[in-house]
Amino acid sequence: MAETNSTFDATDEYESASTEPTATRAELYKEWLDVAVLAPLRVVWNDWRTKTGSLIILFYVLIGTVGPYLVPAPTQGQGPRYAGPFQSMSYPLGTNDIGASLLSELVYSTPPVLKMILAGAVFSTIMAVVIGTVSGYKGGIVDSVLTTLTDIAMTIPGLPLIILLLAVFEPESPYLIGMFLVINSWAGLARSIRSQVLSIRDHSYVEVSRIMGASTPKIIADDVLPNIMPYVLVNFVNSARGVIFGAVALFYLGLLTGFSNNWGITLNEAYTDAAIYSLDKVYWLVFPMIMIVGLSFGLVLFAQGTEKLFNPRIRARHADTVDDTASYEE
């Protein structure tokens, strides 16, 4: 009789478990969208630095993508020579020595700069992350080879190497120029990442993944990278700022050619025309400098607040489909 009762109890438990509601595919997609997309956006919007930096970056992206379709290309005779700013809607920021609109020059200089930033920062960051994480996690001969390669890259003077590459290859693609500008700047970040990974790889959760048979790429992606992503993102922004300043400086000095519009070229033309000595022409220098400083400032603000994006507790707090108490306990 007892055996019969236990059988009925097991059957009842099975039936009750089978009748419990399960999440539908649509609900799973909704939860993923909330946790992976909407929660980070809420985190960004609730921090004034990240929000301000994101809006500034978005403004420059719109200038570089939509601006050329709304603003005519800079040509000679768009207005009178040396017209001051805010005098006409045809050239709201004034004109240069040939009567070309300064607004048109700045707008058409933005897309190549954004392409250089994207290529240079992505190249530098990927090189540093791959070499630094693999070197720090694997150790042994792999670590020795990659560390030697990193040390060699760090000992090569950056500016002479960049000038040499530009003189030899004479690149005209903004993506290639962006990579040349950070050709060896990844080495310092790689060494820093290696040092962090050396301490992370001995943590208990990494050891558990290793015992469970997880592959090296999976351990690095799941257990190592999330811990160093705030630091990596800050250095990504620093690489982007380095590309901005490097490109502007080389265009200003005339070491980069192949582009008719660049903020550095505009500064060079203004300086050559003695705009620095004339209050009537000083706007020719001020507006390109505002564009350079504004983009750099937006990147800095964005980097300062992005640490919260990689904090799982903060993301869970801003997710509607995740219980706060459960996330903290986890």
Category of 269 on φ-ψ map: left (φ > 0), alpha (ψ -120 to 50) or beta: alpha
50 within a domain of the structure (yes/no) = no
Q: What share of the chain is helix, strand, coil (3-state, %, to 5)?
A: 75, 0, 25
Q: CA-CA distance, 314 to 308, in Å (whole number)? A: 7
Residue 99 makes CB contacts below 8 A (sequence gap 6+) with 76, 77, 78, 79, 80, 81, 83
190 within a domain of the structure (yes/no) = yes
According to the model, what pLDDT value does residue 139 have?
Answer: 81
User: pTM of the entire structure?
Assistant: 0.78
The count of domains in the chain is 1
28 within a domain of the structure (yes/no) = no
According to the model, what pLDDT value does residue 319 have?
Answer: 58
Asked whether the beta carbons of 268 and 257 are under 8 A apart, the reply is no
For residue 23, the tally of other CB atoms under 10 A from its CB is 10
210 within a domain of the structure (yes/no) = yes
Q: CA-CA distance, 106 to 261, in Å (whole number)? A: 8
Closest C-alpha to 292, from 234, 251, 236, 260: 251
Q: CA-CA distance, 258 to 171, in Å (whole number)? A: 8
CA of residue 261 relative to chain centroid, distance: 24
The radius of gyration of the chain's CA atoms, rounded to the nearest angstrom, is 27
Domain of residue 164, residue span: 66-329
Asked whether the beta carbons of 223 and 286 are under 8 A apart, the reply is no
Q: Using alpha carbons only, what angle is made at residue 233 by residues 200 and 237, rounded to the nearest 5 degrees?
A: 145
The two tokens of residue 29 are 């997609």
Largest CA distance in the chain: 106
DSSP 262: -
Asked whether the beta carbons of 230 and 43 are under 8 A apart, the reply is no
For the chain of 330 residues, list the mean pLDDT of each consecutive stretch of 10. 46 46 65 63 74 90 92 87 86 88 92 92 91 87 90 86 86 89 88 87 79 80 80 86 89 80 88 84 90 92 73 58 44
24 within a domain of the structure (yes/no) = no
Q: CA-CA distance, 232 to 226, in Å (whole number)? A: 10
Q: For position 238, which CATH number holds?
A: 1.10.3720.10
Q: CA-CA distance, 130 to 233, in Å (whole number)? A: 14
The two tokens of residue 118 are 């994207």
